[in-house]
Amino acid sequence: MMIIPSLDFRKGKIVRLYKGNYLEKTDYQESYAHYIENCIKNDIKMMHIVDLDGAKNPNKKQFFLLKDILKDKRMNFQVGGGVRKEKDLEKLFSLGAKRVVLSSVIFEKNIDVKNWIQIYGNDSIVLALDVQIKRYFKEVVVSGWRNYTGISIEDIINEFLENNIKYILCTDISKDGTLTGPNLLLYSELVKKYPSISFQASGGVSSLHDIFNLKKTGVKNIIIGKAFLEKKFTFSEAINVEKNIF
């Protein structure tokens, strides 16, 4: 299992949204350079970067910011937010991204996404599937969680298994930014049903016990944003849980 700290950026600043709502955001004054340096000192291997400006408007990506972040070659980065075209992938990879996260484009350009997996390799592409769960139906939502697809996460995974997809980032949108604990049942079900997928759990982590319980579900990666920023626990404490020192 890997702990992956997450930083979301709006107009060049670190922020966190509450359940994806741009009107309910918390601003953080911490320098991202200082944050990344602390991650490196604590032997963090990967960071998750979200360009919220790009996610809201694909024509307003913060490439100036991403260039500065991705120039640090001591850390691997996976980056998402408004990736709609192959030139977006090419740009992010050229800047130094290890992986690119795709979301809405999965539905807008389904065939293209499948081709990109083949072209760039399944180690380089992450499918971000955000779900709204109602009566056991895990419906995927897109476009900043404003649009409901009517399609289940299982249907999408089954489709992309044929293309050898490796990484799925799954978020229960009712948990994101809430610090109310992750949806353990969701991840337990997905891991059991799709053992070949390396799932990334995101949303709700607020304690070391949440990390411990997520680890028991079998997820390969845990993305943690707000809990680190609000110092609910330290990088070293999280890593200790990852290494069974708890």
The H or E element that residue 215 is part of is helix 208-217
The 3-state secondary structure of 132-193, one letter per residue? EEECCEEEEEECCCCEEEEEEHHHHHHHHHCCCCCEEEEEECCCCCCCCCCCHHHHHHHHHH
Q: Look at residue 144 in the predicted model and tell me its pLDDT.
A: 67
List the catalytic residue out of 51, 88, 130, 176.
Answer: 130
Overall number of domains in the chain: 1
What the block records as the tokens of 199 is 């799932």
The CA–CA distances, whole Å, from 57 to 33, 75, 83, 92, 115 equal 25, 27, 10, 17, 24
List the catalytic residue out of 8, 51, 53, 88.
Answer: 8
Q: Look at residue 149 in the predicted model and tell me its pLDDT.
A: 87
Q: Look at residue 69 in the predicted model and tell me its pLDDT.
A: 98
Angle at 169 between CA 190 and CA 99, to 5 degrees: 140
Q: Which residues of the chain have pLDDT under 50?
A: none
Q: Look at residue 13 in the predicted model and tell me its pLDDT.
A: 96
β-strands 198-202, 221-224 pairing: parallel
Give pTM, 2 decimals. 0.94
Do 49 and 95 meet the contact criterion of CB atoms below 8 Å apart? no
**Helices 208-217 and 235-242 meet at what angle, rounded to 10?**
30
Backbone angles phi, psi at 110, to 5 degrees: -55, -45
Is 155 in the active site?
A: no
Q: Look at residue 176 in the predicted model and tell me its pLDDT.
A: 86
Do 98 and 120 meet the contact criterion of CB atoms below 8 Å apart? no
CB atoms within 10 A of CB 64: 8
What the block records as the tokens of 90 is 């090419």
Is 68 in the active site?
A: no
Q: Look at residue 1 in the predicted model and tell me its pLDDT.
A: 87
What is the CATH number for 89? 3.20.20.70
Q: Look at residue 218 in the predicted model and tell me its pLDDT.
A: 96
Q: 156, 158, 176, 175: which is closest to 103 by C-alpha?
A: 156
In single-letter form, the type of residue at position 184 comes to: L
Rounded CA-CA distance 234/79 in Å is 23
What range defines the domain where residue 14 resides? 2-242
Rounded CA-CA distance 153/190 in Å is 9
